[in-house]
Structures are given as C-alpha cells and as structure tokens.
A and B are shown apart, each in its own frame.
Chain A
Amino acid sequence: MDIQQLAARLRSEIGEANVLTDRAQLRTYECDGLAVHKVMPAIVTLPATTEHVQAVVRACVETNVPYVARGSGTGLSGGALPHADGVLIVTSKLRSILELDADNERAVLQPGVVNLDITRAAAPYGYYFAPDPSSQQICSIGGNVAENSGGAHCLKYGFTTNHVTGVQLVSPTGELVPLGGKAPDPPGYDLLGAFVGSEGTLGIATEVTVRLMRAPESVRTLLAAFASTDDAGAAVSSIIGAGVIPAAIEMMDALAIEAAEAAVQCNYPQGAGAVLIVELDGPASEVEAQFEQVEQHCAAARAAEIRIAADDAERALFWKGRKSAFAAVGRISPDYIVQDGVIPRTALPQVLRRMGELAAKHGIRVANVFHAGDGNLHPLVLFDDAVTGEAERAEELSGAILDLCIEYGGSITGEHGVGMDKAKHMPRMYTDDDLDTMQLLRCAFDPDHLSNPGKIFPTPRLCGEVPGRHKGAHPLQEQGLAEVF
C-alpha cells in the first residue's frame, strides 16, 4: 500500500490537521528521550479522539502497515522509536482528564494526560497519584502504562501497574476493548496486568482508570551526606533491616551531585562522596517515631552531615537535585548513556565497587543515581563522542554493567523498559523458552505483528508457528518488520 494513499485515507478519517507528512515535521518525531536512536516515520498522526485512534489502527491493519504509539516522547529505551515505513500515533492531543472521582478514589484519563497533572487535579480533594517518575512534569500516563513506570516513591507504593485499575484499549486488531474498571479484582485473566508494561506491543490505551492515594498526614525528608557510597549503602541496609519502609530512599554519588549542582544549585553538602535522600510519609505519629530511627541509622553509618527539610520548599529543593540529575549530566559530559539495571539491595556495595573497577578498566567515568531502596541503579556512563573509541568503550561498559546486574540476580531494566535499546540484552535474563512463551501473549493480541514491532524481543516469533530454531532469514526480517540481534 502506497504511503501517500494511506496518508490521504487517514486525512479523510481523522482530519488534515492531525496527519503530518512534511519531512521537517516528521523528523522532529524521529526519536524519543533516547536521542541516540533515530528513525523517521512515514506518517505521523495526532488523533484527537478515541475514534481517531481506532480509525488509524484499523487503517494500518487493513494495509499491513506497522505502527508505533508515542506519548510525550520522554522514554529512555526507544519504546516510541518509529518504524521507518510505519505510522506514528501520538497521543499528545488526547489530554483530557475525563473524570476525577474522589469519592471512589479514582480518576479516568486520556492517555496524553501528563502524570503530574493527575496529582494537580486530585490535590484539592486531598489525593494524589503515587507513581512519580522524574519526568513526571511531562511524561504521559499512557507512556507510564506502556512502560510500567516507577519513580522514587515506588519502594513503598509500587509502580504504575499497582495504580491502574482499568484501561480501555484499541487492540492491535482494531477493536475497542475495556479491561478492568473502577472496581477491584475483575474476573478472568489479568490482561490488564499484562498490558501495563507491555511497551505498546499489545495495543494502545485510549482511557486509563487510576487509583488515587490519600495524601499522607505527614511527610518528613532528610538529606544525609556520606564520605562514600559504601557508607551510604550501609545506612540503607540498616534502615531497611530495622523494618522501616521509607516512602523513598535515593542515592547520588559525587559525579551526579556535581552535575545536579551545576544545573539547579541544589546546594548539596560540599565534598560528599554520596548523598542519601530519605523520605518517610504516613500518619504523623508513625512518621515521627520512624524518622528518629532513620536519623540514628544514618549517624551510625558515619553520615558527615544530616539535613532535615524544615518545610515544603526545602523538601522540594532536596528533590530538585535528584530529579534533574539525568538531564543535568549533560553539563558535565558531552554525551552519556543512561542505564537502568536492578540488583538486590543487599548487593549494592559490592556491585558499586565492581562497577567502579569496570569503569576504571574502560577508562570511562560513571555517575550514579539510584533508587537505593529497591536496588534500581541508573549508572550514567559519560563519554565524549568526539574522542575516538570512547563511544565504543562506553557501549562495552554499559553491557558489562548489565551483565553485572544479572550476575547478582537482578534485572536489565527496573523502570525504563526494554524498548529497542535493551532488546538485545533480553537473552541475558531469559531463556529462549521464556521469551518464546512471552511472545505467545503477543501473538494472542497482535497476530499480524504490527503493533510496535521490533521492540522488547530480539527475535520475533511468527504467530502460529511451532517454537524452534529458524533457518535463514526470519520472514518478519524479510518483510522489514524486525531485526535479529
């Protein structure tokens, strides 16, 4: 099917203003937050209604054209990387809060609603939306659903999947399917649970029903500076070991602190080898008691300085540095790769040490920002593309770090998703049988392999085939719908 014909059809179905084919415009959509991978889509659509989304998907299905959904384009795994011969379906015009039902602690949202805007809308009722990725001021709830986004507070409150109770989606075969709703425990298979985190491969959400949390009575935040990440790690272990589950424990090392300081002047303690942000929330009496414990544990772990946020403004400042860390790293290095590995928390000190050794061996600097509470690391591998060989060494080091995470029983991605960036690493974590089984789910939803093809799985599976090795080029490779790593 001719792209021009498809574009014309889409224009007539969803409106001229919502279909882009101008080259300059298409190019602005060729990457998401992971700018190192760029692919220009053939057509960009910006549906303004659920019917539009359905019309676009149906048109793609009928013409056998692959499509990729995109929210705010802030993802860090290339999940919204377009397909060169495909249609990009952007949800940024679907940004209404359809319903805010504080009585039932629910909100119903279009997929383009910005994460933070949900909390803003719920705040007057004393509620908030718990998953808080660092990009929450711009990332969309649809994107959060696709990636099962986490954030600093997921140690205590869980991820997007624990806060989504319903989704209406356009399936890859073009049907409008409701899953779940406002009430808990819908009977049948938990397709909703499988859909969240499926990275756009099982369809496009057109409505998301989320659970709102009651704002805590009290929030106390502490910033502690340590001489080294070892000490900070020890503090984390002893806090958790004492049975305290903070709402968040975040750690940054010296390089990350330097970047954050340059960007937002957060005024973290000078010369700290590591900084810990610990936040407790809940009923005031509980928080008070536990906060004292946390202070003691930090002191016992040889904290060089402990600061306690006196008010909301100071608390916001503590967090500002942490939340800007990724983007701020651009100030101390021309290029960088951000990783998203997970390790068991108890392995933190050893892993950090091993990472330091690996970094030294490769001659590459690594800044560390992470959710210390759940072992989710974000090593920022810093390099200068202009220097010969540095980019390659950085890639190598990134891979080595992931291997390290797997070695310790962790995961290759804690919250950014696999996308296309980590598809090649999936076999480090899962066997062929595991990956094959997962793809059976995909086949159930997307038999034609048109919904965000080429993401998550290194080797695509033809639906209806018997599992086993393929000889020669895979049919989907021949169709140009997938690559094998």
Chain B
Amino acid sequence: MPATPAFDDHRPPSLELVEDCVHCGFCLPTCPTYSLWGEEMDSPRGRIYLMETGLAGEPMTDTMVQHFDACLGCMACVTACPSGVQYDKLIEATRAQVERRHTRTVDERLLRAAIFALFPYPRRLRLVRGPLRLYQRSGLERALRRTGILNRTPRLAALESLAPKLGRNVQIPERIRAAGRKRATVGMLLGCVQREFFPNVNVATARILQAEGCEVVVPKGQGCCGALSVHNGREPEAQRFARAMIDSFDRADVEYVVVNAAGCGSSMKEYAELLAGEPAYAERAKTFAGRVRDISEILVELGPVAPRHPLPMVAAYHDACHLAHAQGVRSQPRQLLAGIPGLEVREIADPMICCGSAGIYNVLYPEPARELGDRKAAAVLATGAELLITANPGCLMQVASSIQRQGGSIAMAHTTEVLDASIRGVALVRSPKRRRLVDHVRAISKPGAISKLRAISKRGRQLRRRDGDPEQARRASHIRRSA
C-alpha cells in the first residue's frame, strides 16, 4: 500500500485487543450511531474493523476519521460484548492518534479550539456565567429564539439550547467537618461545568457526605480532570490536567476522591493508563485511580447512617453512560434511591442507548445528538414520571433541551439533590419565580406546555419549599425546569 498507514508507533490501538473481537455483532443494537443510521462503519464492530485495517496498513483517510469521530464514546458496546473487547481503550488510543496525525477542516479546528479553551477552565466558565445569566433573564434569549436565527447555525443553536438556567453562584468551603462520628476523610471534585452551572449539585454532594459521617476536603485550586480532553484524543492536554489533579488531591491526604459527574469519575479511574508512560506519576496515578469513587459508590460502600425522610414522587432514573457502561455503576444509585421512602423509581425503555450528550458530542455533532436526545426524551416522558434523576450534568442539559423541544415538561435533578432533600427532610421545590417560568415557557414551547404545567399544579404535585430562607432558595433551587 503506497499511502502512510493510519497509525504510528506511539500508543496505537492495540492489535491484541482488536483481535478479541469475534465479529459477532452483539454490540450493534446497543450502539447509538448504528441505531440511527444502520451502517456498519458507524458501529463498534465496524470501527474496530477500521482500526484493524489501519493497523494492517490502510491510510487514515477523512472517511475513516469521520467514522471514529462519529462514535459517542458511550461504551454501551463494552457492556454488551460477550468477548470482553475493551473498546474504550481502543477508541481512546485511536482518537489520540487521529488528533495527532490527522488534519481536520479549519471550521472543525476552530470549534474544537474554542470548546477546549473554555470548558476545562472553571474560571473562564465563570466569566461566561454573568453574560449568560443576563442573556437568559433579560428577554434576549426569548427574543433570539423567536427569530429562529439560531436554527441556521445548528452548533450555536445546540449550545444555546443546552445552556441551563443559571441561579446565583455558591462557594463551597475547603474543609467540611463530618456530622456525628467520622467514618472517612474524602476529597471532593468540584468539576468545571458542574461547579459553574450546577453548583447546587456540589452543595448537595457535600451535605450528604457530611451527613453520612465524612469529613470532606475540597482542595482549592483544583482544576479540570481532563475527561473531555482524553475522550477527544487530546492526550498531552489530558495528561497535564491529570497530573495537576493528582497533585491537588495528594496534597489533601484523603482516603477517597468522590466525584459526582459520571464523565469525570470514569476518566479519573483511568489515570493509571493515561500516565503509564510517565515514571514520575505512574505509581501515584495508580494509587489515585484506586481511590476514586462515584458518590453513589462511596455511599453504598460506607452504608447509610443518616435517616431518610419521605419524598413521595414518581421519578425515572437515567443511567449516564459513563457511570453505567464505563464504570459499571448501575445498582448503587438505584439502591440509594430505593432507600428513600415514598419515592417510586421507574425504569426508562432502552436504557442502554445514550442520550446523545456524550461530552461535547452534542456540540460537535448536533444533528445525530438531537435525534438521540429526542428518542431519549420520548422514552423518559413515556414513563409518566414527574422527575428525572441523572448523574451527569451533560445528560441533564441534553435531555432537558430535548424535552423542551418536544414541548414536554418534567422536573430534573441530580441523584445527590434528591438524596440531599431526603436526608434534610425537605421537599423538592420549584423555583419561586413561577410566573417568569410560565412566561418563558409560553414564549418558546408548543401550545400544550402551559396547560401541562398547570395540570401538574392541580394534581397537587406542586413542590413547595418549607425551609425559611428565600435567599438560600434562590441560590440553591433544587429543581431545574425543562422550560
């Protein structure tokens, strides 16, 4: 073959792992892109095959890259594969090779540069908060959406539709004492998008850990875990973030590092592989990775001590891919939710199929992400639940935006927010600025949405705030409305 082979010698996808694939096809029905397009090259089996041909000398063409890029990295195939093919390792290695050796179009490069200049930097995200909040509250958002201009630029539209409603920001102290007998000292990851856009989730997480007897250490100056970077092939950047993260938490001297964002947790558990080639960090990375726990894992591991108060609601639990597939954490969140009296948790149909968020996938590839989001939204709405619980900010934004697009309405919360409410004995609450919410809905939703909201009130599932402090309420509203 005259052209250059697709992969070079620096950490190519492993031939040994590739050869584990027996071509049985069990992964196809769980793959989101195969479920959308029905084409072999956009299935795990097909992508592995492309890797194999690349390793055998086929060149890295635009087409080949296109199919690697289209992979959401949801790992549903890893769960489904009876032969134990480690597709996660394969796609990560492949993406790094693509990033290094393939030249993308100018547009693509600019977009990726912009994303990676913003998302992994909490301080920069904070700078965006102000203007974004203004945009949302001033009526500019309403006006812009009415014009439909955004529809002409799908990526911008995607970004715009994904942006959650922002409340006031919150600071979390560096050290939080355990309530009652101390059972463990844990570190807590603040995240980037989580920290700036869903601070209440961090508040809830810290409170739960405290209530369950953990001393919580929140290292100041902790940065990004590098998940988005490693999932998109930006290896040196990811390694840089990983080293900094390990440094932050090593200084803190904790038994566990608790994470409340699925994508982050899965990445951090793989630091050993990411830094395997660096003598100064290889051992530390292994130790660190061994300490990482998703919040639901650690709570089940420790065992609940804080009493739960009833939350009489019907909820649906959505498995974030990086929690269920990448980390194998499925039963723990369900166990925790089952421990809340009065809470009925319904399963969503086709739970294995990704919602389309997949990190920044929904920004890079808005059309397939939108289709997947719509399917997930329909499945969620079909459960008849009034509350959607999930463990990843990305999923939350994606499903929210999809439900809104379908004119539906459902409350959303992170697993920790639900658990926190139960431990504190408060009801989950709708933001007090109801009228604004209703106006907003009228502006952008389909006609039926208003009556749906009102109908929910009539049925008495109105969520009331019983805590006294309205200021706290504004700062820590527990529910994100989909409108």
Contact = CB atoms under 8 A, between A and B. Distances in A.
B472 interface: no
B53 to A, nearest CB: 5
B46 interface: yes
Interface in A108-150: 112, 114, 135, 137-139
A24 B53 contact: yes
A459 interface: no
Given A28-B50, A33-B23, A138 B28 contact: yes
Contact of A24 (B19, B41, B81): B41
Nearest to B349: A120
Nearest to B84: A331
Contact of A95 (B23, B38, B49, B64): B38
B26 interface: yes
Given A24-B53, A28-B49, A28-B50, A138 B26 contact: yes
Interface string A312-338: 000000000000101111110010000
B83 interface: yes
Interface in A298-353: 324, 326-331, 334
Given A135-B26, A137-B29, A138-B28, A28 B82 contact: no
A34 B24 CA distance: 8
A327 B22 contact: yes
A443 interface: no
B83 A331 contact: yes
A326 B24 contact: yes
B58 A27 contact: yes
A478 B477 CA distance: 77
A316 to B, nearest CB: 15
Contacts of B61: 22-24
Contacts of B53: 24, 27
B25 A93 contact: no
Given A23-B61, A24-B64, A95-B38, 16 more contacts: A22-B61, A24-B41, A28-B49, A28-B50, A32-B23, A33-B23, A33-B24, A34-B23, A35-B22, A46-B39, A327-B22, A327-B24, A328-B83, A330-B20, A331-B83, A334-B19
A93 B63 contact: no
Nearest to A137: B29
A264 interface: yes
Nearest to B59: A24
A31 interface: yes
A237 interface: no
Contact of A25 (B21, B38, B63, B82): B63
B25 A135 contact: yes
A22 B66 CA distance: 12
B40 interface: yes
A263 B82 contact: yes
A171 interface: no
Contacts of B26: 135, 137-138, 327
A330 B83 contact: yes
B294 to A, nearest CB: 22
A74 interface: yes
Interface in A1-44: 22-25, 27-29, 31-35
A290 interface: no
Nearest to B60: A24
Contacts of A264: 82
A389 to B, nearest CB: 20
A72 B49 CA distance: 15
B170 to A, nearest CB: 43
Given A24-B50, A24-B61, A324-B82, A112 B25 contact: no
A263 B40 contact: no
Nearest to A72: B25
A28 B23 CA distance: 11
A312 B191 CA distance: 41
A30 to B, nearest CB: 8
A318 B13 CA distance: 35
Interface residues of B, number: 27
Interface in A80-127: 90, 92-93, 95, 112, 114
Contacts of B50: 24, 27-28
Interface string B67-99: 100000000000001111000000000000000
Contacts of A92: 38-40
Interface in A333-377: 334
Contacts of A334: 19
Interface of B: 19-26, 28-29, 38-41, 46, 49-50, 53, 58, 61, 63-64, 67, 81-84
B52 to A, nearest CB: 9
Given A27-B58, A28-B46, A135-B25, A328 B39 contact: no
Given A138-B28, A327-B83, A328-B83, A25 B22 contact: no
B46 A74 contact: no
A5 B174 CA distance: 69
B63 A72 contact: no
Contacts of B40: 25, 28-29, 73, 90, 92
8 contacts: A23-B61, A25-B40, A31-B23, A34-B23, A114-B29, A326-B24, A327-B24, A330-B82
A95 B84 CA distance: 28
Contacts of B83: 263, 327-328, 330-331
A28 B61 CA distance: 14
Contacts of A331: 83-84
A327 B82 contact: yes
Given A73-B25, A264-B82, A24 B58 contact: yes
* Nearest 10 CB-CB pairings of A with B: A327-B82, A92-B38, A330-B83, A324-B82, A35-B23, A28-B46, A327-B24, A74-B25, A28-B40, A330-B22
Contacts of A330: 20-22, 82-84
B23 to A, nearest CB: 4
A139 B24 CA distance: 10
A27 B83 CA distance: 22
Contacts of B82: 263-264, 324, 327-328, 330
A22 B63 contact: yes
Contacts of B38: 46, 92-93, 95, 112
A31 B49 CA distance: 10
Nearest to A112: B38
A135 B39 contact: no
Contacts of B25: 33, 72-74, 135, 138-139
B24 A24 contact: no
A324 B27 CA distance: 13
Nearest to A117: B29
A25 B23 contact: no
A138 B58 contact: no
Nearest to A94: B38
Interface string A262-290: 11100000000000000000000000000
Contacts of A23: 58, 61
A87 B61 CA distance: 23
A326 B24 CA distance: 9
Nearest to B80: A137
Given A264-B82, A327-B82, A328-B82, A27 B28 contact: no
A93 B39 CA distance: 8
A92 B24 CA distance: 16
Contacts of A137: 26, 29
A35 B45 CA distance: 11
A138 B14 CA distance: 26
A388 B157 CA distance: 59
Contacts of A32: 23
Nearest to A27: B53
Nearest to B38: A92
A72 B23 contact: no
Nearest to B20: A330
Contacts of A326: 22, 24
A74 B24 contact: yes
B71 to A, nearest CB: 13
Interface string A154-194: 00000000000000000000000000000000000000000
B41 A28 contact: yes
